[in-house]
Chains A and B, each alone.
Chain A
Amino acid sequence: MTLNFALNGRKLSREIAPDETLLQLLRDCGMHSVRSGCDTSNCGICTVWVDGKPVLSCGYLAARVEGRAVTTLEGVKDEAEALMRCLAAEGADQCGYCSPGFLMCALAMFRELENPGDAEMRAYLAGNLCRCTGYASQMRALAKYAEGRRSK
């Protein structure tokens, strides 16, 4: 079947299989930030945006994005940079494999919530697992990033 959608602001038309996941499609489109972690929509690593809202692309059929806008980290690099630098300063990247999905969810959170506190952030990001960091450094980085936003 033919799928028409926008990827990071660019209109695309692709032939897809009806059972193809959005994750497969995006990797085929060369979006290396979109990575698989669990195959069962538990870990948050494959998070991308559809019409600006975070979705888990491993459990999301590609056919569902017909006529819609898909955003991956590649499409919001500039917006992500300040948060990436906060994470790097804390050493909160470690293996880095879960970082793009985490960033996509965190950026969506900061677009959605004015001034999230620690508990609010933990709840919003609960579906983004990380095995390396123990989360504390990520939370410190988020707090510093949020502070930076407020003082702007």
Chain B
Amino acid sequence: MSGQNREDLKVVNQARAKTDALSIMGGAPVYTGDLVPDGALVVKLKRSPHAFARIVSIDKSRAELVPGVAGVFTWRDVPHHRHTFAGASYPGNNPFDRVILDEYVRYVGDPVAIVAAESEEAAEKALKLVKVEYEVLEPVLDFETAEQSASAVHPEDDYVYQTDIGGDLAHNVLMSERDEDGDFEAVYASCPVRLDETWYTPATQQAMMETFRTFSYYDHAGRLTLVSSTQITFHARRLVAMALGLPQSKVRVVKPRVGGGFGAKQSMVTEVYAAAVTYLTGKPAYIQFTRQESCACANTRHAFRIRVRLGATEDGIVRALWVDSLENAGAYGEHAANVIGLSGHKTLPLYGKAEAWRYTGKAVYTNTTPGGAYRGFGATQGCFAVESTVNKLAAQLGLDPCELRLRNLPEVGKPMPAYYDEPLTSCSLDRCIETGRRMTGWDEKYRSAPFARQVGPHRYRGLGMAVTMQGSGISNVDNCTARIRLDDGGFYTLSIGASDIGTGCDTILAQMAAEVLECDIDRIVVNGVDTSYSPYDKGSYASSTTYVTGNATVMAAKELLGKMRKVAAERMGVAEGDLEFDGDEFTCGERKLTLTELGVESVNGHADWLTAAASFAGHTSPPPFVAGFAEVEVDTETGEVEVVDLVGVVDCGTVVNRALAQVQAEGGFLQGYGMALTEDVQTLPGGKLATNSFMQYKIPSRLDAPPIRIAFEESWEPTGPFGAKSIGEVVINTPSPAIAAAIRNAVGAEIHALPATAEKVYGALRAQGADSHV
């Protein structure tokens, strides 16, 4: 096998088209909605119009009389077992705060009844005829005052904490935590430069193009089988079984092609409703969320308030850093307990010279749409807050922000105290900063004072930057397995439990196996995911597939190659050490054995079937890094911000697939751009989510998209497959702080709450009295 040098790689580190490209683009029936069995009941949900209420009574008698209605189910009709929607390894932190339907509704849109009918029309008609009497309760709508509210969002007495996470439900506190090293107060007090800044990041939508959907039926073995658009195939099996009170052996989950997820599908959303209908009626059932439901009744990025206290020397060395995060969990705690920690643990380590650091976090329940996982998972929110504070430090000290970052970088080989003491084993962030500086023409263009680069009447340019890190899987928790076999036609079948949701993991894992097996990816069929047949994988989230499943894939492929060599040597009557293998045949002098012959051999009683499986569980989570840069032009007359250049330089270790990594980065940067400038989940006074379509919730179109330029500065991660680390999430983090910094650099306006809309920039300009420039 080639392998420990990037120059030797033949398949990995190249651009390859996705193995499913032509089928998914060409309209093959491969997504959940294409595979629904004929006659499946149409499932719709009756939803609460109130943010917080107790259900007094439900009259479903008229709804049940609608021709074609197969069932109307309320909280009295469905199994009642506390569970969570959050897909995360078990046991874990996420409290069991959900039942399928409850006596209480906790946000506008919370399901009240499940309707199943033979047609969409019948289901819609029945929905309208379900009459619900509510006792309306005072909702908790403001997360900053949730603790003082007279209402408790989760008053139920059968709420289950898996473990003590510092909650206080009477005061709507889902969890609270603290982690620190050093004497923060003393070091902070001794610093000549101190900043104490508070920042806000709003809820945002993942907005994947395929909305949530699941169908269910009983399979040949009597298992409740779900075909679902999910990132968490195995967790969904456990959680559906839990919600219905079934043994896991009676539930099966299948993931077909998925039309995007970005974390939204790391939680269950539609699964339990289809499952409940099939469980209660015995019939196949299908539920597909509308876009409106996907926006208002699923999960969003958690809104955060983050206070950062930073103490530094006058030459910009950060000596004390405290990230204090308050997170709006929304009505249910999907991932809230895990998201919040990343706001500290994936920001603090970048300031590796700090003598004291502290992270404190608290998540509170409110009667709003639940938060959930979204690419970046807390690191994104923390990155905006910490990097904005550091950019302010640079501005205050008159230091170049690139230079300031370079002075503070963590060192390879040393442990990162705020990152669970994991050692930093690869990092080219210094090169990323230098390259980005070159690409943007930073040294020629950058002026530390605002209003220094006027380019037209009322128009000023500015530059900003930020750095970030993420992880590669969750250390000591994530477990991923790959199984590979040689088939008798002389090809390989690679089975994985990781969910390709458009990321291309089926392709990059095939590249890794192909690199080991000296072939190209057309000789490898990748199968995933069916909990019946696939090896266990915790699912596709936490930037884990390339690193964790990738390591498992390489281990399995190497083991298979070893077995193949052994059988080939026996069959050829030669010593194993004398064998050559070119991917097509084993040779030893004049003797030959083709791969097809070996495959046939392995199923004809001469040898064991050639198969190998390997599991990998990382003891570290090597961080990928990005240095992100933005150049903006601000119109002081309107406050409008135009991003004229967005540059990202990425250290993801070895780039496994040059085309797919590039697109991951470009797509992540544009999502980050949306978060910086337009994307904002807004709630009406009564708690109803207002931005519930693409008309109100503005994701960037190709006309909005700024020029995005991506470069890679590869490092070599010694624990990674062929030196690789993750890329999926880290690419979303830098645009918002870099753009905010560029706005400040252009016109001095300081944006403390995203998105940086024209109104906010204009208001900030007015507030700072910059009228002479307007």
> Which A residues form the contact surface with B (CB < 8 A)?
17, 31-40, 42-43, 45, 72-74, 77, 80, 84-85, 87-100, 103, 122-123, 125-139
Contacts and interface: CB of A to CB of B under 8 A. Distances in A.
Of listed B15, B18, B291, B702, residue having the most chain A CB within 10 A: B702
B678 interface: no
A35 B257 CA distance: 14
Contacts of A35: 31, 33, 210, 259
A36 B258 CA distance: 14
A54 to B, nearest CB: 15
A39 B292 contact: yes
Given A40-B695, A97-B502, A122 B703 contact: yes
Given A42-B694, A129-B694, A131-B262, A94 B705 contact: no
Interface stretch (B194-202, B584-592, B657-665): B657-665
A39 B662 contact: no
B376 to A, nearest CB: 14
A64 B721 CA distance: 55
A129 B701 contact: yes
Interface string B235-258: 000000000000000000000011
9 contacts: A35-B33, A89-B659, A93-B21, A95-B210, A125-B702, A131-B667, A131-B671, A135-B666, A136-B663
Interface in B40-94: none
A73 B26 CA distance: 7
A32 B663 contact: no
Given A93-B25, A94-B18, 8 more contacts: A43-B209, A45-B209, A87-B21, A97-B502, A125-B702, A127-B701, A134-B663, A134-B668
A38 B24 contact: no
A139 B667 contact: no
Contacts of A100: 25-27
B669 A134 contact: yes
Contacts of B34: 32
Contacts of A17: 121
Nearest 7 CB-CB pairs, A to B?
A33-B27, A95-B502, A96-B24, A97-B259, A134-B670, A91-B659, A134-B666
A91 B29 contact: no
Contacts of A129: 209, 694, 699, 701
Interface in B692-709: 693-695, 699, 701-703, 705, 708
A102 B33 CA distance: 19
Given A32-B27, A136-B708, A97 B702 contact: no
Contacts of B21: 84, 87-88, 93, 96
Contacts of B699: 129, 131
B208 interface: yes
Contacts of A36: 211
A36 B503 CA distance: 21
Contact of B24 (A40, A74, A93, A122): A93
Contacts of B657: 91
Given A38-B693, A126-B701, A96 B25 contact: yes
A127 B695 CA distance: 12
B20 A96 contact: yes
A28 to B, nearest CB: 11
Contacts of B695: 40, 42
Contacts of A91: 15, 17-18, 504, 657, 659-660, 662-663
Contacts of B666: 133-137
Nearest to B262: A131
B502 A132 contact: yes
B700 to A, nearest CB: 8
B504 A135 contact: no
Contacts of B292: 39
B501 interface: yes
B32 to A, nearest CB: 11
B294 to A, nearest CB: 9
A33 B24 CA distance: 9
A134 B26 CA distance: 21
Contacts of A38: 291, 693-694
Interface string B475-506: 00000000000000000000000000111100
Interface string B186-226: 00000000000000000000111111000000000000000
A135 B702 contact: yes
Of listed B25, B211, B701, residue having the most chain A CB within 10 A: B25
B162 interface: no
B532 interface: no
Contacts of A133: 663, 666-667
A88 B209 CA distance: 18
Interface string B638-676: 000000000000000000010110110011111100000
A34 B28 CA distance: 10
Contacts of B501: 95
